[in-house]
A and B are shown apart, each in its own frame.
Chain A
Amino acid sequence: MQWTKRDMGVYVGSKEFIDTAIIPILPFQLSQESNLSKSTSKREVLSIFATEIEKELSGRVLLIPNYYYLEYGDKLEEAKRLNSWNEEIQKQPFEHVFILTFDSGWKRFEKDLQANLLWVPGFQADDPNSDEMRQMIRGQVSDVVELIRSYW
């Protein structure tokens, strides 16, 4: 399910089946020009990644709208905000909340997060729509899907 009018209509009707939420968190920065391509490709690939996971498990997973944070900002502050997102999500009967990121910096703050951190090693893509890239994303998606299923 995605955060769209149509999907949320379905969600309200079959709440009991949808118990997992995924928040994709994406870094944003403009200060370090040399890292711009890295930051942007992270964003593009993670968006595709999240959508693909949602497609595989759409009947049980709600994909929360993207959460943006400053790449070089204070992660502790962001963790607090993420926890308030988590609390908001928990107002509905969600049993599992995952935070999806390519940013290894979050690993250190895992204990400060209430939700499960799903850190996936990122990869840079020149063209996220190329065939090799698609194969690679598909491979990783099925691994992450397995991981999520192990929580169910």
Chain B
Amino acid sequence: MSEEKQQVSRRQFLNYTLTGVGGFMAAGMLAPMLRMAVDPVLKSTSSDGDFVNVGLAVEDITTTPQRVDWQIEQVDGWYESKPGRSAWVYKDDKGDIIALSPVCTHLGCVVSWEGNESHPNEFFCPCHDGRYTKDGVNVPGTPPLAPLATYEQKVENGILYLGKAISRKGA
């Protein structure tokens, strides 16, 4: 009875096997090409990766600068770290959100809002008495020669996201 069953001939078997293996090899070559071709499409979904949620709701931002701290992921060669970032965030008279970098443009200390009692309504650098007005512009006659940097910002679902700090020209 077994002889009536359709036998697979040697030739057929080799044909099937070779087609199968060839198919795998072709797929192995084509898949990365396809992946690269569609890569830009996949990337666009995460293009705002540079912005970080700093954990501050827009409605909590007042006209008084408040300090926010957050961390970013950074890969520097083989060294991965989570350096901290800080900003002074407030709303100006028009209701726009301002996020200033706290790094003094003189030698890099951290400035604080109203850090000195004799200079109210100004940012104050504790190291060499540098001063900045509320909009971050350096007060002439004090050591800093440039205004504080501002952060790129955007608001999503009522939460503030901050990006890179952009330095401004000297005043």
Contact, CB under 8 Å: B126 / A17: no
Docked Cα-Cα span, A55 to B109, in Å, equals 7
Contact, CB under 8 Å: B82 / A129: yes
- Size of the B side of the interface (Cβ < 8 Å), in residues, is 14
User: B128 interface residue, CB < 8 Å from A?
Assistant: yes
Closest to A129 in B: B82
Contact with A along B89-102 (1 / 0, CB 8 A): 00000000000000
Closest to B110 in A: A56
Docked Cα-Cα span, A61 to B104, in Å, equals 14
Tally of A-B Cβ pairs under 8 angstroms: 39
Contact, CB under 8 Å: A55 / B110: yes
Please name all residues of chain B whose beta carbon is closer than 8 Å to the beta carbon of A129 when the two chains form the complex.
82
Contact, CB under 8 Å: B128 / A59: yes
Contact, CB under 8 Å: A60 / B82: no
Contact, CB under 8 Å: A60 / B110: no
Contact, CB under 8 Å: B69 / A60: no
Closest to A7 in B: B108
Kindly identify which residue among B82, B84, B127 contacts A17, using a CB–CB cutoff of 8 Å: B127
User: B107 interface residue, CB < 8 Å from A?
Assistant: yes
- Residues of A49-66 at the interface with B, using a CB-CB cut-off of 8 Å, are 55-61
Kindly identify which residue among B69, B82, B84, B109 contacts A59, using a CB–CB cutoff of 8 Å: B109
User: A80 interface residue, CB < 8 Å from B?
Assistant: no
Contact with B along A24-57 (1 / 0, CB 8 A): 0000000000000000000000000000000111
Beyond A14-B107, A149-B126: 19 further Cβ-contacts under 8 Å?
A10-B107, A17-B127, A17-B143, A55-B84, A56-B109, A57-B109, A57-B126, A57-B127, A58-B107, A58-B109, A58-B110, A59-B106, A59-B108, A59-B109, A59-B127, A59-B128, A60-B107, A61-B127, A145-B126
What is B's interface to A at a CB cutoff of 8 Å?
69, 82, 84, 104, 106-110, 125-128, 143
What is A's interface to B at a CB cutoff of 8 Å?
10, 14, 17-18, 55-61, 129, 134, 138, 145, 149
